[in-house]
């Protein structure tokens, strides 16, 4: 009996490490789970929303992005949820053909214009996907600096490049949460 139990525990552990799984409504990509959130929130509120999700492998954060493939995967979750012409009416300048909106990602500056950090504490290394002339560290009169990053949604062909912009953190945008998949190998 003891031997049988031991064998089945070992078998389960082996299967668990070989197969990643995500909760319902989350999408699996390379060992992590992602979920698009259509609510438009400030960067901090978006991160707090992501923090409410967890599974046995860890908790959620705004998605940190470490490769072109991951950038595309995350952005496509947004793109598959909105129409190319779905320009929200809250954007600052609705007649701008490329108004500033899109989805928050986990990259931000915890000190104004300090080093870029991910809310999930992963190291950004050298992967950045800035739009040309960004990050421009703009300041808004009487308000805070552009210290939070979003993937910029464009209504033209450049959208396929899925570039990043630093933005005022109290802007509201939809976002993608990320958490480790169940079954992920622990380091």
Ligand X SMILES: *[C@@H]1O[C@H](CO)[C@@H](O)[C@H](O)[C@H]1NC(C)=O
Question: Which burial class, exposed, middle or buried, applies to 47 when counting CB atoms under 10 A from its CB (0-12, 13-18, 19+)?
Answer: buried
Q: Which is nearer to Ca ion, 70 or 147 (CB)?
A: 147
Q: Quick one: CA torsion of 155, 158, 160, 162, rounded to 10 degrees?
A: -90
Q: Which is nearer to ligand X, 33 or 148 (CB)?
A: 148
Is residue 166 near Ca ion by the rule CB under 5 A? yes
How far is C-alpha 85 from the chain's CA centre? 22
Residues from 94 through 133 that contact Ca ion (CB under 5 A): 113
Give the residue carrying structure tokens 């940190």. Answer: 64
Question: Which of Ca ion, ligand X, none does residue 100 bind (CB under 5 to 8 Å by kind)?
Answer: ligand X
Longest pairwise C-alpha distance within the chain: 72
Nearest distance, CB of residue 146 and ligand X, angstroms: 5
Residue 96-125 contact track with ligand X, rule CB under 6 A, x = bound: ----x-------------------------
Is residue 86 near Ca ion by the rule CB under 5 A? no
Is residue 138 near ligand X by the rule CB under 6 A? yes
In sequence order, which residues have a C-beta less than 8 Å from that of residue 148 and are 6 or more positions away?
A: 43, 104, 107, 108, 109, 166, 167, 168, 169, 171
Give the footprint of Ca ion on this chain (CB under 5 A). Answer: 113, 134, 136-137, 145-147, 165-166
Give the footprint of ligand X on this chain (CB under 6 A). Answer: 100, 136, 138, 146, 165-167
């Amino acid at each position: 009996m003891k031997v049988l139990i031991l064998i089945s525990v070992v078998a389960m552990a082996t299967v668990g490490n070989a197969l990643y799984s995500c909760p319902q409504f989350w999408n699996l990509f390379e060992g992590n789970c992602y979920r698009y959130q259509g609510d438009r929130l400030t960067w901090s509120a978006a991160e707090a929303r992501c923090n409410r999700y967890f599974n046995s492998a860890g908790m959620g954060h705004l998605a940190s992005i470490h490769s072109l493939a991951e950038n595309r995967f995350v952005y496509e979750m947004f793109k598959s949820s909105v129409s190319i012409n779905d320009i929200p009416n809250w954007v600052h300048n609705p007649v701008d053909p490329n108004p500033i909106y899109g989805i928050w990602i986990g990259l931000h500056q915890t000190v104004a214009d300090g080093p870029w950090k991910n809310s999930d504490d992963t190291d950004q290394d050298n992967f950045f996907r800035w739009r040309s002339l960004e990050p421009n560290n703009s300041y808004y009169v009487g308000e805070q600096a552009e210290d939070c990053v979003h993937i910029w949604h464009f209504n033209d062909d450049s959208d396929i490049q899925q570039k990043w912009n630093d933005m005022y953190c109290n802007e509201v945008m939809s976002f993608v949460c990320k958490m480790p998949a169940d079954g992920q190998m622990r380091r």
